[in-house]
A and B are shown apart, each in its own frame.
Chain A
Amino acid sequence: MNRRARTTPTTPTAGGAPSTPTTGGAPSTPGAPRALTALASLSRAMFSGFVRDRSALVFTILIPVLFLVLFGAIYKSSSAPRVNVLEVGKVSLLNQAEAAAPGQLHKLLTVTRLASPGAALRDVRQGSYDAAVQQRGSTLVVHYSVASPTTAGVVQAVFSSIVQQADQAAAGQPARYALRSQQVEDKSLKPIQYLAPGLLGWAIASGATFGAAITLVGWRENKLLRRLRLAPVSTSSVVLARIGISLVIAMVQLAVFLAIATTPYFGLKLTASWWMAIPIVACGTLAFMSIGLLVGSFAKTQQAATSIANLIILPMAFLGGAFIPLAFAPAWIREVSYAMPLRYLVTGMQDVMARGDGPAAALPAIGILLGLAAVLTLISLRVFRWDDV
């Protein structure tokens, strides 16, 4: 039946193209170096695919940076709330308080004078001013709005202490006790100190999750996964190449964020062990890739994978302290945040980058992230499908 003996195995030559004789069959390169070249070329292929994907660049780098710039600018001047007060008529208590502690009062209050009580009340109601004060003999009347509970609290506290001090002074008693309040954080803990790690955590989480999920589903959809299965390349080469690329992307995100956040305008001050953020970012990448892998194992189409990944990452950004700093978050969010993998990535980075904790402070976060990565990868392997059918 063998009409055409397999003679010299040459390239089919159509149109006079050069023919290259090879040794026939499988090229006999030793296993380990070939696995390495396969790993290298798969990594190169994935990396080129990523950097040429404008939308991926926008989502992993540009949008997070845009968020950083926006949030950074918004929160730049936010310190203790200043209170804008309308002085209706003459309020001598304010002058007394200013005289007792020069300069102190104006740290808290901005005082504007206004003659008409009616106009003052209207301004407070509309929110143009936080409070209006009027002195009727020995009674100080404070009008405030509860529209902002924080400023309402500050208004009440400030004026009751002014009245108390004035009372004590009138009684001729020197103040025996003094209160000096101080923030526990370093003075440098400006909003950027928690904003930058928070947004970076979110950027890394979504980059890793979407990267893994979309690659897996896309390759399954276009049968590239099947094509790779038909090549003498191990599954681990494919997975390692993808992990490598995701790690590179995450490190680029870290570098870009630090470069921008540490500019004088944003004023991020890195504390001594900031470099521990590198292993945290690496472990966070692994953890979120494993989430993406799991999503990719179930999702049938890239659109489905994108939706599911969004459904996981976006709520987590709010509940895990990335968008809303946990310190300012309601108690229930703080409780829930313990169940959010993103919490450990974000707080881990905050501890070493911004709070000045030592390198060891990052270890629990690293442990939790790695543990999650291991568990989810094991589950993914069980539900993994090469093909749709």
Chain B
Amino acid sequence: MSATISVRELRKSYGSLTAVDGITFDVQPGEFYAILGPNGAGKTTTLEILEGLRQADRGEVSVLGLPPWPRNQALLPRIGVQLQASSFFERLTAREQIRTFASLYGVGTRRADDMLAVVGLTEQASVRAEKLSGGQAQRLSIACALVHDPELVFLDEPTGALDPQARRNLWDLLRQINADGRTVVLTTHHMDEAETLCDRVAIMDRGAILQTGTPATLVRGLDSPVRISIEPGQLDTAQAAELAVRAGGSAADVSDDGVSLTIATRDPATVLAGLADRGALGGLRVQGATLEDVFLQLTGREYRA
């Protein structure tokens, strides 16, 4: 089966600034794909080129087998794009917003109202968009992007300004969208979001894709230590260092910031057993490597969102 999105050697610069510097990737049908990177990495420009909002300087782009530029009326009904939560008509209620968008695609009011129910906004149907909370507005925005049942959905930082609870609610919705068989492409600068939601991740920085793969493969490929933390005071530094050495590490792997005592190790079983023997498991946390560590390793820089 041919790829839903195919990008070859894509390049785009604004004046002297190169936003996208020769990237190549494919997105397969039904995939949940994340483009991950800090602000200014070129994620949004890439997405805008895929959506047909910008013309590439060089390279080949095909979306659902069609070129997105110039504005392709045959392609538009097949893709759904969620923009910022504020991209609404002024002073219209949630129901009026989605019905208006629906009619632009020739979709009836019934389907529009159903879609409102899907994102859980039936109770807010008569509330004006400006009065919705951040999470509600974001869900309305996603509903408007899905109202015409597109095959391919683009989400540009959908959880940008949301509180943790609203983010988790939205994640459930996004999983559902993908589970229904749609291909979803999402940009985010939240590592945890990409890790939780996506099948595959492309890590982007300074206009280039550094690596692609499933989150698990990328993290495992790191071969980085597991960080085991406990409440301080249960173990003195010498004992902790002794444990670290027993697990094949050194005293340098132990750190105590006053809030928690942390031992970084490649042999977590030995360290955990040692801690258990001393009855020092209070406030235990075990943390494996994250995409953040992958980013650090790939760029040599701390990840800055």
Chain A residues proximal to chain B, CB less than 8 Å: 1-7, 9-15, 17-20, 22, 24-27, 29, 34, 37-38, 40-42, 44-46, 48-49, 52-53, 218, 222-224, 226-233, 386-387, 389
CA A145 to CA B122, docked complex, whole Å: 76
User: In the complex, are the beta carbons of B106 and A27 less than 8 A apart?
Assistant: yes
User: In the complex, are the beta carbons of A26 and B105 less than 8 A apart?
Assistant: yes
Given A12-B173, A49-B91, A230–B81 Cβ distance below 8 Å? Answer: yes
* Main SS at interface, chain A: loop
User: In the complex, are the beta carbons of A12 and B87 less than 8 A apart?
Assistant: no
Q: Does B117 sit within 8 A of A, measured CB to CB?
A: yes
Residues of A contacting B78 in the complex (Cβ-Cβ under 8 angstroms): 25-26
User: In the complex, are the beta carbons of A18 and B100 less than 8 A apart?
Assistant: no
Which A residue sits closest to B91, measured CB to CB? Answer: A52
Residues of A contacting B146 in the complex (Cβ-Cβ under 8 angstroms): 11-12
Q: Does B180 sit within 8 A of A, measured CB to CB?
A: yes
User: In the complex, are the beta carbons of B107 and A27 less than 8 A apart?
Assistant: yes
Residues of B contacting A230 in the complex (Cβ-Cβ under 8 angstroms): 51-53, 76, 79, 81
User: In the complex, are the beta carbons of A227 and B181 less than 8 A apart?
Assistant: no
A-B contact count (CB 8 A): 152
Which A residue sits closest to B26, measured CB to CB? Answer: A1
Q: Could you jot down 30 A-B contacts, CB within 8 Å?
A: A1-B31, A4-B179, A6-B181, A11-B111, A11-B115, A11-B180, A12-B179, A12-B180, A13-B118, A14-B176, A17-B117, A17-B118, A22-B107, A27-B77, A38-B103, A38-B106, A40-B103, A41-B100, A48-B91, A49-B89, A49-B90, A218-B90, A224-B88, A226-B53, A230-B52, A230-B76, A230-B81, A231-B76, A386-B53, A387-B53
Q: Does B277 sit within 8 A of A, measured CB to CB?
A: no
User: In the complex, are the beta carbons of B181 and A7 less than 8 A apart?
Assistant: yes
Q: How far is the CB of A381 from chain B (nearest CB, A)?
A: 15
User: In the complex, are the beta carbons of A2 and B1 less than 8 A apart?
Assistant: yes
Q: How far is the CB of A29 from chain B (nearest CB, A)?
A: 4
Q: Does B177 sit within 8 A of A, measured CB to CB?
A: yes
From A1, A22, A44, A223, residue with most partner B Cβ within 10 Å: A1
User: In the complex, are the beta carbons of A45 and B176 less than 8 A apart?
Assistant: no
CA A29 to CA B146, docked complex, whole Å: 18
User: In the complex, are the beta carbons of B30 and A4 less than 8 A apart?
Assistant: yes
Q: Does B101 sit within 8 A of A, measured CB to CB?
A: yes
Tally of B interface residues using CB under 8 Å: 58
User: In the complex, are the beta carbons of A229 and B104 less than 8 A apart?
Assistant: no
Residues of B contacting A222 in the complex (Cβ-Cβ under 8 angstroms): 84, 86-88
Q: How far is the CB of A2 from chain B (nearest CB, A)?
A: 5
Q: How far is the CB of A15 from chain B (nearest CB, A)?
A: 6
Residues of B contacting A231 in the complex (Cβ-Cβ under 8 angstroms): 76, 101, 104-105
User: In the complex, are the beta carbons of A37 and B92 less than 8 A apart?
Assistant: no
Partner of B149, one of A25, A233, A386: A25
Given A9-B180, A20-B111, A231-B76, A3–B96 Cβ distance below 8 Å? Answer: no
A-contact 0/1 string along B92-133, CB 8 Å cutoff: 100010011101111100110011011110000000000000
Please list the 7 inter-chain residue pairs (A to B) with the smallest Cβ-Cβ separation, ordered nearest first: A26-B77, A6-B181, A1-B28, A29-B106, A41-B103, A12-B176, A17-B117
List 12 additional contacts besides A5-B181, A20-B114, A37-B103; criterion CB under 8 Å: A3-B199, A4-B30, A9-B180, A11-B115, A24-B149, A26-B105, A27-B105, A45-B89, A52-B91, A218-B90, A223-B87, A232-B73
